[in-house]
Chain A
Amino acid sequence: MTGTEALEIVATFLNNEPVVLANGYISREFFNVQDREGSFYMIGSMGLASSIGLGAALARPDRKTVIVDGDGNVLMSMGTLAMIAAARPKNLVHLCIDNEVYESTGKQRSLSNQIELEKVAQANGYPYSRRVETPDALKQAMGEVMAGEGPSFLLIKVAPSFDSNRGRVTHTPEEIRDRFMSVYG
């Protein structure tokens, strides 16, 4: 499964949930797969998609909130896994697109081929944490995490695939903010 295929599958499980996307190709590719009002494309602040998602989930416990993180982003902010596990927001789904590289900056290797991030999440105390490696396993797990109680962590092992010729997010940062806020009604 490629990163793009994984994002395409993830998109089919979403309605109008607030979704916070990691910086780099993850935001760009998800924008190209499906541009949703509720997608917060985090173009800077590497590592903070998880804390932004946690803040949103805590402020609105009635809204299912999804983080689409990357392995490099998760490794940069590993302490945030502890914050999420400690706060235990039932409404939070934490996905990690794990291509074992910093794909956005030229596929330099990250540490996630040696460090099992789903075990890190589990050891921190996420009540649900799984690794998936195939489209079928991803679909099944997405069904579980979107219907079940969190915080849940899903490590999605993928092959690098993002196409640097695909466009960047065309909305301005303020437009991204306003669109994201609008899904709270």
Chain B
Amino acid sequence: MLNSKSFADRLIAEKFDFFTGVPCSLLSGLISDLESRPGVNYIPAVREDAAVGLCAGAYMAGSLPVLLMQNSGLGYSLNAFTSLNLIYNIPVLVVMSWRGFGGKDAPEHIIMGDINEPLLETSGMPHAVLEPGDEAGAEAAFQQALDTIRNKKIPFTLLVKKGLYNEGHH
């Protein structure tokens, strides 16, 4: 699960069939992998909140959606998560890049990088971190995501660190 191809294979094997988002360089490999697959439709969204809405509609109409976004989009989409997904119980798998991790990034990412996990926690949004090199941890995180989506029916966020899904872009 620790490169774009294997992760996309896994998503499709688990019947995820609706992909949208706003790009992040840390997810560029994953987005191009999805876009290159015949039969997979990645829908470019203009804003993260609109992508949350798109996924909610797709879910209720019978799809299993994945939302790809940068953590900067968490601010834009927090009202969508709290006043749509979390009250109607509408799940979505969120693959969120963790810009600003450890305070080492461009200035605009530092604050969100710092508050990313507490913000998810305080919003009641379960999440787990995918680390380069930790296959077992990624597998456990993915199982937790599947369980949350299928049983609790709320969004689950996989926080993705640099070096996993940004093949070909540094």
Q: What residues of chain A have their CB less than 8 Å away from a CB belonging to chain B? A: 18, 20, 40, 42-60, 63, 65, 77, 79-80, 82-83, 86-87, 173-174, 176-177, 180-181, 184
Q: Interface on chain A toward B: helix, strand, loop, or mixed SS?
A: helix
Contact of B60 with A45 in the complex, beta carbons under 8 Å = no
The answer for the CA separation of A72 and B58 in the assembled complex, in Å, is 24
B62 touches A184 (CB 8 A): yes
Whether B80 and A48, one on each chain, are in contact in the complex, defined by CB atoms closer than 8 angstroms, is yes
B46 with A55: CB separation less than 8 A = no
Give the distance to chain A from B80, nearest Cβ to Cβ, in Å: 5
B12 at the interface (CB under 8 A from A): no
A87 touches B43 (CB 8 A): yes
Choice from A48, A87, A176, A181 contacting B49 with Cβ under 8 Å: A48
A58 engages B43 (CB within 8 Å): yes
Query: Which residues of B34-56 have CB atoms within 8 Å of chain A's CB atoms?
Result: 41, 43-47, 49-56
Chain B residues whose CB sits within 8 angstroms of the CB of A42 once the complex forms:
84
Chain B contacts to A: CB under 8 angstroms? 18, 41, 43-47, 49-63, 65, 79-80, 82-84, 87-90
What are 29 A-B contacts with C-beta separation under 8 Å? A18-B60, A43-B87, A44-B79, A44-B87, A45-B52, A45-B53, A46-B79, A48-B49, A50-B53, A51-B52, A52-B53, A52-B54, A55-B57, A55-B59, A56-B57, A56-B61, A58-B18, A58-B57, A59-B61, A59-B62, A63-B61, A77-B50, A79-B46, A80-B53, A86-B44, A173-B89, A176-B88, A180-B60, A184-B61
Q: How far is the CA of A89 from the CA of B103 in the complex (A)?
A: 43
Task: Check B50–A48 contact: CB distance below 8 A.
Answer: yes
Chain B contact residues: over half helix, strand or loop, or mixed?
Answer: helix
**Chain B residue contacts of A57, Cβ below 8 A:** 57, 61
**Closest CB in chain B relative to A50 CB, distance in Å:** 7
Contact of B60 among A46, A77, A82, A177 (CB under 8 A): A177
Give the 3 A-B CB pairs with smallest separation, nearest first.
A44-B83, A55-B57, A51-B53
Contacts of B57 in A (CB 8 A): 20, 51-59
The 8 Å CB contact of A48, one of B18, B52, B63, B89, is B52
Please, which residue of chain A has its CB at the minimum distance from the CB of B63? A59
- Chain A residue at minimum C-beta to C-beta distance from B45: A83
Most buried by B among A18, A54, A57: A54
Contacts of B89 in A (CB 8 A): 173-174, 177
- Residue picked from B49, B50, B61, most chain A C-beta under 10 Å: B61
Q: Are B87 and A55 in contact (CB under 8 A)?
A: no
- How far apart sit A83 and B52, CA to CA, in the bound complex (Å)? 13
Nearest A residue to B18 by beta-carbon distance? Answer: A59
